[in-house]
Structure 1
Amino acid sequence: MTTRLAGLLVKEMIQFLRDRVVLMLILWLYTIEVVICTLAVSFDVENMPLAAVDLDQTPMSRALVQDFLVSDTFTLAGAPANVTEATDWLQDGRARVALVVPVGFQRDVTRGEVPAVQILLDGTDSNIAAQARGIALAIVGRFGTTAAEQHGQGGARPVLRVWYNPDGSSTSFTVLSMIALAALMVGVIYPAASIMREKEAGTIEQLRVTPIGTTELFVAKTAPMLVMGLVSVFPSLLIVSWFGVPLRGSLALFLALTAVFLISAIAIGVLIASVSRTLQQALLLSFFGLFPVLFLSGTITPVESMPKLLQTASLVSPLRHYMDVILGVFLKGAGLAELWPQALALVAIGTPLFLVAARIFRRSPAG
């Protein structure tokens, strides 16, 4: 069995490397297309999770927090006890904005002073952060105007700090999201097309009459795709570096979670090939499956802005969790301690997908 499997793996790798069109397509998706889309695409949002750190606990400080929640831009994620806890919430993604109202806020305002109100922003998505920044400044400004009218002078002075992407550039989010999308497309479309091509050529039917088992054939069809999917990530790392996007976390963790993500994508591709009759049908089904996964991932429309039903449905999109991984590793320097929920979700999605794909493939490898 080991010799047969090794032979099949070598055959698949040679076949892959000889397909210049596919190689150029993968290179295009991970490089040129990433560059083009990064330079052309931008995003908008609402309903950002807000961590409200009210250290004053007075009617006036609560009124300021309420002013943030009245708008559609912010929704209350919780009330951390201190700035350190709020920082942890930004780090693990529970909040995208933190509002810190200092001790003595009401006292200083009623005295006619202008106390500082700290606003911490998660800048991994610069367009979202820029919107939140403008609205937060406007809210604090209106609060200061109202306080000045009531007390003669005084108000509040916002002290704004954008975390993880302080210059507010949209490049970081866009280039990373396009790399995630490229990984999904290659992981789904290439396995589906490769298997269907061999179906139509009759190669798989010929393999069925050999001593090769369907399990060995399934492994031979998926393992090289996983390896090549990981190898294909490296050219995109050069693009990331070219755009000046930092890698603050562990490259090894990124590759490991990318492998888990690719298992889900490859399983979807194998499922599509298993139920398709022709290559054209497989490609159409691939795009039919790709679009819902893409739209529910948060790469185009933030998950927080979706209806509640779609927010729940987005939990089954592996791309949503992988986006948290790639943004967390590159921009936040997050490790497994922060990303274990995403890692667990990718495993929970990928494992049953892979097992179902293997079962269907074993039942009808030749369609």
Structure 2
Amino acid sequence: MHLSTIFHLGVKELRGLLRDPMLLALIVYAFTLAIYSSATALPETLNRAPIAIVDEDVSPLSTRIASAFQPPYFASPEHITPEEMDRRMDAGLDTFAIDLPPDFQADLLAGRSPEIQLNVDATRMTQAFNGAGYIQSILTAEITEFLQRYRASATPPVDLALRARFNPELNKSWFGSIMSVIDNITMLSIVLTGTALIREREHGTIEHLLVMPVTPAEIMIGKVWSMGLVVLAASAVALVFVVQGLLGVPIEGSLPLFMAGAALHLFATTALGIFLATLAGSMPQFGLLLMLVLLPLQILSGGNTPRESMPEFVQTVMLAAPNTHFVILAQSILFRGAGPGTVWPQFLALAAIGSALFVFSLGRFRRSLQ
């Protein structure tokens, strides 16, 4: 095995990538617009949720309640009639619709217990759950203050000192942007290496390589280092210019340490991309395999849902996936400023999984060339 041969094979892959405008556009999109949209459009948070109010009471209290729903959690309420409520909910115009009944204020002052109807569009599941709790709190606070005839906060029996660590602003973009970078590193490393191999097979250039004095290991390593370098460079640019620069998300830990972990992760995922390309006979088949592999890797890795909330069997199985360890490593470094003394188990796990995947993929690649 000659290092110069591996270097020139990798340069050949980079030149082939530069001649593919679709892949270049995918790389640019994945590390710019995709990150920005993930950071600013997370559906789990309550942000300017559309709400409508049917005010059948038209009293000072009902006016006070309507004015309590304001941005950023809710959009300014739309005042509608009872006949419009169902039609607007069916059309998806409102996530929440509140119906204040006639004589609502008079019933409260008389000591009766009137009912408020709250309709929720539960197809927006997380927003519906969070928003219903917000609405309950707002209604309770406004009605209590109206009945007491003064605005004052009750003294709680216990003084809770809340300190939000690692995200003191509770800003959703801090989580969404970094997790988008982590997911796109995995996706593009598999896509680029698999596409490079299938493209050579479809163009017939793989046979030209085999008649040259090169080995399958040199061909595979050339693809691994070149495509891994592209993804590593794109992720570094995205973290500095998009995450830190455009979105203003602070990076707590060491970027070089994160890059080292990302390089180990790319070693594993690029080998996985080669393996999938040896199984697929064409690009459409490779795309179907990606759907079967990428979705479980990203959903079950602990990036979108905490691993502790998953069944123990799933947690155990996903320890064999490089994503699981990379998500732990990336979140520890970028969110919490962890050092090598904290993340060394993840480094070891990525090195072991990457080595196993490389050896297995190399064997499969050799058999596919025979």
1:200 aligns with 2:202: yes
Distance 1:232 1:208 in 2: 31
139, 158, 161: which one aligns with 2:160 = 158
Q: CA deviation at 1:342?
A: 1.8
238, 243, 250: which one aligns with 1:240 = 243
Distance 1:257 1:10 in 2: 24
Instruction: Report the equivalent of 1:273.
Output: 277
Residue identity matched to 2:355: T
Distance 1:2 1:155 in 2: 70
Q: What does 1:9-28 align with in structure 2 at a 5 Å threshold?
A: 9-28=10-29
Q: CA deviation at 1:362?
A: 2.1
Distance 2:293 2:191 in 1: 10
Instruction: Report the equivalent of 2:344.
Output: 340
- Preserved contact between residue 278 and residue 365 of structure 2 (Cα < 8 Å): yes
Distance 1:244 1:229 in 2: 22
- Preserved contact between residue 173 and residue 327 of structure 1 (Cα < 8 Å): no
Instruction: Report the equivalent of 2:227.
Output: 225
Instruction: Report the equivalent of 1:209.
Output: 211
Residue identity matched to 1:304: E
Distance 2:261 2:311 in 1: 28
Residue identity matched to 2:225: A
RMSD of the alignment, in Å?
Answer: 2.3
Normalised by the size of structure 1, how large is the TM-score?
Answer: 0.67
Report the more deviating stretch, 24-33 or 209-218: 209-218
**Identity between Structure 1 and Structure 2 (%):** 33
Instruction: Report the equivalent of 1:58.
Output: none
1:311 aligns with 2:308: no
Cα distance, 1:6–1:316 mapped onto 2, change above 3 Å? closer
Q: CA deviation at 1:42?
A: 4.5
Distance 1:169 1:220 in 2: 41
Q: CA deviation at 1:215?
A: 1.6
- Preserved contact between residue 274 and residue 365 of structure 1 (Cα < 8 Å): no
Q: CA deviation at 1:155?
A: 4.7
Q: CA deviation at 1:252?
A: 1.0
Cα distance, 1:261–1:4 mapped onto 2, change above 3 Å? closer
Q: Runs of 5+ in structure 2 lacking a partner?
A: 46-125, 134-154
Residue identity matched to 2:172: S
Report the more deviating stretch, 26-35 or 8-17: 8-17
Larger radius of gyration: 2
Instruction: Report the equivalent of 2:365.
Output: 361
Residue identity matched to 1:188: I
Cα deviation per residue 1:218-258 (whole Å; 9 max; x = unaligned)?
A: 11121101111111112311111121211221111011000
SS at match of 1:166: coil
Distance 2:267 2:227 in 1: 9
SS at match of 2:201: helix
Report the more deviating stretch, 185-194 or 303-312: 303-312
Instruction: Report the equivalent of 1:79.
Output: none
Q: Runs of 5+ in structure 1 lacking a partner?
A: 45-126, 135-152
Distance 1:154 1:276 in 2: 63
- Preserved contact between residue 182 and residue 327 of structure 2 (Cα < 8 Å): yes
Cα distance, 1:333–1:280 mapped onto 2, change above 3 Å? same
Distance 1:278 1:209 in 2: 23
SS at match of 1:163: coil
Aligned residues: 262
Instruction: Report the equivalent of 2:109.
Output: none
Residue identity matched to 1:160: L
Q: Is the strand fraction higher in 1 or 2?
A: 1
Q: CA deviation at 1:11?
A: 1.5
